[in-house]
Amino acid sequence: MNATPAPQPVPSARIPGREPDRESAPGSVETHCPYCSLQCGMGLRPGGATGLEVTERPAFPVNRGALCGKGRTATELLSSGARLTEPLVRRSPGGPLEPAGWDEALERIATELTRVRAAYGPDAQGVFGGGGLTNEKAYLLGKFARLVLGTSQIDYNGRFCMSSAAAAGIRAFGLDRGLPLPMADIAGSGCVILVGGNPAETMPPALRYFTELRENGGRLIVVDPRRTRTAELADLHLAPRPGTDLALALGLLHLVVAEGRTDERYIAERTTGWAGARAAAMAHWPELVERITGVPVPQLREAVGHFCDAESAMVLTARGPEQQAKGTDTVGAWINLTLATGRAGRPRSGYGCLTGQGNGQGGREHGQKADQLPGYRLLTDPAARAHVAGVWGVDPDVLPGPGRSAYELLDALGRDVRSLLVLASNPVVSAPRAAHVEERLRALDFLAVCDVVLSETAALADVVLPVTQWAEESGTLTNLEGRVLLRRRAVDPPPGVRSDLWVLGALAARLGWEKGFPDDPEEVFEELRRASAGGPADYSGITYGRIAREDGVFWPCPASADGTGADGTGTDGTEVDGTGAGTRHPGTPRLFLDRFATPDGRARFAPVTHRPSAEEPDAEYPVLLTTGRVLAQYQSGAQTRRVAELNAAAPGPFVQLHPRLAERHGIAEGDPVAVTSRRGRAVAPARVTRDIRPDTVFMPFHWPGAGRANTLTNPALDPTSRMPEFKVSAVRVERAGAESAG
């Protein structure tokens, strides 16, 4: 692998939509961090050891200049020797990956995909995308799969992120957007219940909103089986047994009803289905909930008091309650709490989800999810099919139906699905039951991967294509607030590296589609605008120019009646009336203030009841495993594990366990611990602490090899969202031999 030269700055005239820097360092290109869903604003300017250095953007409203360690070091991978800079091809079965030219690599992919389709049919071709892809890439990837390949078999790793929250939000409100309000509203709320989230480590710049909440007199309640850095800041920490968040929410709603704290007028005017939800909650009395969750009744009553006494209040969920085989119902129970107390659709109140991946929101809105078309349209809706087919210039009957969800797609590899194209994902590390997924990837007839580094998944591929990174390309992303942002190109990519858009266009041409797959991101976005028009996630009134002027635009934002762009601009972002005024839609920072997105405008209660996890502890596997992230690493670690500063801060996996559990098994701090589930075994050093329940162990999931946490996790799926049960697995623990800790 060749060393990558220092990045070369791009002249500002080549940066789409660039405005003069506002309160940024002189000479900086305004852009956004490549990691989490905050999409923190940052500047990039020539300098530093890597040839490009990060500067603050104090005027950007989401992070106001603050950056975590991942954001500060984000430029290191641009010139890293770990970078892929030329295509790699495996020329013989079992042989090594060898350098190749672009023509050879693309021709190999086109030939193999054609062979698979001819032999097994279009649905034998799979496509697996990523929640870090820009909106333009996600859009074009979905179009490529459905038109060029003709396959229904496309999904993405965002299915593992917040799909349960999305399903619950659509069921309750008729619309899914991670947060229905700006992040700044958190600081002005009277009480926030944060369920299964740890922003102090997963998105540190967001922590200021929770700190400001408390400084303003509001209360913070954190629900987590571990005493995390975020829980340490809380006024009240509830530590339920993993997998019992649903019972906890029902118990709190029971107390709300029993204490006469429901908002009956709101329920009558703005909701439906209360009778069923109320009956379900009343079957979960406090003492029963204490037995199920381990949370004492006095703490339940204290939480209800804080939440109901506040003038405004909200519930925010994250992966804890969502990554369960009952995640949709669990989130629905927490939404019920906000509806019964009259919080949803009110200022500084309601329900929201802290999306994880950088474009987890936008990534599923525009077509790389198995059941959706651009604009968050359902693939099964005839009107949606007709609209998108019209934009694409094809007959609606050409479009395949819904395909498999992410894990189901991975499980079918080598059997029904014989080839796979992967963009920006590393399922060898990130998927549940990861050893099995690795076996299925190895069983494929053909695997092609586009990535910036040789990830664990790319290392298994027959062809690996080197693609551009965040600072080397322009494109839009949608953060957790629903704010559509513009990432600007700041440097040229290394010679030999191409963009994902270019790759899709080049492959489409080789497969018979000469038009419809441009590599200019702004041109793709203009088509995305038209495809999304009239859909739930309507971007038709958003342009690159408007994003630059307004620090992002909140969807839905429909176009004006004349179709020239609701921001008073033409489709190229230039002013129409000279002021940017006219009939432009302002965007929608706050959803549901007047009505919900359901046909009757009312929110819908979910009549959910608690049920056991898919896998409960027993004599053979008596302990619960839960998984998550650490401050210095991100997702599968494919990028952050290659940054020296981050790797030094978090060099490897560990097993966090309570002193009582450690003593029972003769385990001391630093000892190698074997954690075994019905799916496999992982070994990592012990971290003994009272910050976790005695019946639970925790492992971060960023690493491959012996300490791969997802070797252990359960692929049991939520029946609605198809989310795997990452957060609850029955395991046993024991001290391992030192030789096992590698």
Same domain, 73 and 124: no
27 band by pLDDT with thresholds 50, 70 and 90: confident
Instruction: Please say if the pLDDT value at position 694 is more than 90.
Output: yes
The pLDDT of residue 15 is above 90: no
Q: State the Cα–Cα distance between residues 73 and 168, nearest whole angstrom.
A: 36
CATH number, domain at 706? 2.40.40.20
In this structure, is residue 409 part of a structural domain? Answer: yes
Q: Is the pLDDT of residue 599 over 80?
A: yes
Give the residue, 742 or 169, on which the prediction is more confident.
Answer: 169
Query: Does the pLDDT of residue 36 top 90, yes or no?
Result: yes
Looking at residue 601, what is its pLDDT?
98
701 with 662, same domain: the answer is yes
Residue 223 lies in a domain: yes
Query: Which pTM does this prediction carry?
Result: 0.94
Contact by Cβ (8 Å): 701, 627? yes
Q: Please state the rounded mean pLDDT for residues 619-643.
A: 96
User: If pLDDT is split at 50, 70 and 90, which confidence band does 7 have?
Assistant: low
Q: Which of 29, 57, 79 is the last residue of a domain?
A: 79
Evaluate whether residue 701 is within a structural domain.
yes
If asked whether residues 648 and 696 sit together in one domain, one would say: yes
* Shared domain check, 327 and 180: yes
Tell whether 611 is covered by a domain.
no
For residue 533, being part of any structural domain is answered with yes
Domain containing residue 455: CATH number: 3.40.50.740
Same domain, 233 and 339: yes
Q: How confident is the model at residue 4 (pLDDT cuts 50, 70, 90)?
A: low
pLDDT of res. 112:
98
pLDDT value at position 58?
95
The string of DSSP letters for 355-376 reads --STTHHHHHHTT-STTEETTT
Q: What is the mean pLDDT of residues 618-644?
A: 96
Does pLDDT of 189 surpass 90? yes
Q: For the segment 124-133, what is each residue's pLDDT rounded down to a tens digit? A: 999 999 999 9
CA dist., res. 544 & res. 547, Å (int): 5
Question: Does the pLDDT of residue 458 top 80, yes or no?
Answer: yes
pLDDT at 13: 32
Q: What percent of the chain has pLDDT over 90?
A: 89
In a domain, 500, yes or no: yes
Q: What is the pLDDT of residues 481-497, one digit of tens each?
A: 999 999 999 999 999 99
| CATH number of the domain to which 251 belongs | 3.40.228.10
Answer for the pair 247, 295: CB distance below 8 angstroms, yes or no.
no
Cα–Cα distance measured from residue 298 to residue 598, given in angstroms and rounded to the nearest whole number: 37
pLDDT for the residue 737: 84
Number of domains comprising the chain: 4
Q: Is 112 helix (H, G, I), strand (E, B) or coil?
A: helix
CA distances in angstroms from 362 to 206, 249, 583, 629, listed in the order given: 19, 29, 25, 22
Domain check: are 113 and 53 in the same one? no
Bond from prior residue into 556 cis (ω within 30 degrees of 0): yes
Domain finish residue from 52, 79, 106: 79
The CATH number of the domain holding residue 73 is 2.20.25
Q: Quick: pLDDT tens for 313-362.
A: 999 999 999 999 999 999 999 999 999 999 999 999 999 999 889 899 99
pLDDT band (50, 70, 90) for residue 566: very low
The answer to whether residues 521 and 650 belong to one domain is: no
Looking at the fold, whether 267 and 403 belong to one and the same domain comes out as no
Q: Is residue 740 predicted with pLDDT exceeding 70?
A: no
| Residue range(s) defining the domain that contains residue 649 | 623-740
pLDDT of residue 739: 46
The verdict on residue 493 lying in a domain is yes
695 and 641 housed in the same domain: yes
Whether 317 and 184 map to the same domain: the answer is yes
CA distances from 646 to 607, 625, 739 (A): 45, 25, 26
Band of residue 563 on the pLDDT scale cut at 50, 70, 90: very low
Per-chain mean pLDDT for the chain: 93
- 384 and 350 co-located in one domain: no
List CB contacts of 360: < 8 A, sequence separation 6 or more.
37, 131, 158, 161, 162, 178, 480
pLDDT in tens, 358-403: 899 998 899 999 999 999 999 999 999 999 999 999 999 999 999 9
Residue at a domain's end among 530, 554, 578: 554
Domain co-membership, 56 together with 128: no
166: three-class secondary structure by DSSP:
helix
pLDDT above 70 as % of the chain: 93
In a domain, 562, yes or no: no
